[in-house]
Amino acid sequence: MSSLSVEFAGVTFKNPLVLASGTCGFGREYAEIFDIKRLGGLASKGLTLNARAGNEGLRIWETNSGIMNSVGLENPGVRAFIERDLDWVNGLGVVNIVNLGGHSIEDYIEGVRLLNSVKLDILELNISCPNVKAGGMNFGVKTELAREVVRKIRATCKHKLSVKLSPNAEDIVALARACEEEGADGISLVNTFLAMAIDLEGRKPVFGNTYAGLSGPAIKPIALRMVHQVAHSVKIPVMGMGGVVSWRDAIEFIMAGASIVQIGTGNFIKPDISLDIIDGIEAYLDAEGIGSVSEIRGIV
């Protein structure tokens, strides 16, 4: 039998499959449907320092081969997560990745401080949220803004830190390198692509915020290209994602250089799709006589 086990920044995953942030809550609903203990890891819904109600109006819109979402980071806040969900997730025996968003550097730092005092495996820093204090600019778009936020968070954060990049970045490779230089332990990419849909009858955008985030198979070839570029430009490990819905997709991301593969929109197509993908990767490795998943990482 081939080994599916993977090391990421010193953390051992029993297999490379992780449920992506915002598509699995904190895992409780999926646990009622399938055995989530078989997963390599779980990335929590994006937390913010304080609870957020999220956006008004339509939140999900189906596109050809994908979805657009405008959830607006609805979440109970870091403190409520620690009180209600953290122990439960830690008890699953999967790698516990806590995703943290923020609207100012101060909010990020305060959230990181609260999380410093608890047990978790990896802090996934989502730098793709609108930075209200910098006039709506995203931390994850401008390399130098990203550098500043990662530097400050690295100085505070006691946990392993994977920075989640936006595909809307001005220069994805330069931005990933800046994160590495500032001490990130890993890179997660991609988040959703800024996109738009129009309601013809209403003669207005479908979403209240006009633009929303596109995910799913529609973005896969672009996400794969970005993962390939970043994985070949940094030494720290990469969690790749974007439109993975089959074991073949997952193997493509691994061959492009990803150590871990996250599944987002695929969970909405089939909640236990990640188990099919784990089984498919294992069967592929066995059939090809490949001893471990790391043997094919980055070979393309």
Residue 129 bears catalytic tag: yes
Encoded one letter per residue, x for contact with ligand FMN by CB under 6 A and - for no contact, window 104-143 reads ----------------------x-----------------
3-state secondary structure the chain: CCECCEEECCEEECCCEEECCCCCCCCHHHHCCCCHHHCCEEECCCECCCCECCCCCCCEEEECCEEEECCCCCECCHHHHHHHCHHHHHCCCCEEEEEECCCCHHHHHHHHHHHHCCCCCEEEEECCCEEHHHCCEECCCCHHHHHHHHHHHHHHCCCEEEEECCCCCCCHHHHHHHHHHCCCCEEEECCCEEEECEECCCCEECCCCCEEEEECHHHHHHHHHHHHHHHCCCCCCEEEECCCCCHHHHHHHHHHCCCEEEECCHHHHCCCHHHHHHHHHHHHHHHHCCCEHHHHCCCC
Applying CB under 6 A, among 244, 254, 277, 293 the residue interacting with ligand FMN is: 244
89 near ligand FMN, judged by CB under 6 A = no
**Region of 29-37, 104-112, 138-146, 242-250 interacting with ligand FMN (CB under 6 A):** 242-250
162 near ligand FMN, judged by CB under 6 A = no
Q: Which residue is nearest to ligand FMN (CB)?
A: 22
Give the residue with the Cβ less far from ligand FMN, 234 or 244.
244
Give the residue with the Cβ less far from ligand FMN, 69 or 138.
69
Applying CB under 6 A, among 241, 251, 254, 278 the residue interacting with ligand FMN is: 241
277 near ligand FMN, judged by CB under 6 A = no
243 near ligand FMN, judged by CB under 6 A = yes
Nearest to 230, CA basis, from 131, 105, 143: 143
150 near ligand FMN, judged by CB under 6 A = no
240 near ligand FMN, judged by CB under 6 A = no
**Region of 110-118, 149-157, 203-211, 263-271 interacting with ligand FMN (CB under 6 A):** 263-271
Applying CB under 6 A, among 52, 142, 159, 164 the residue interacting with ligand FMN is: 164
Which residues here bind ligand FMN, judged by CB under 6 A? 20-23, 45-46, 67, 69, 71, 73, 99, 126, 164, 191-192, 215-216, 219, 241-244, 263-266
Residues annotated catalytic, as ranges:
129
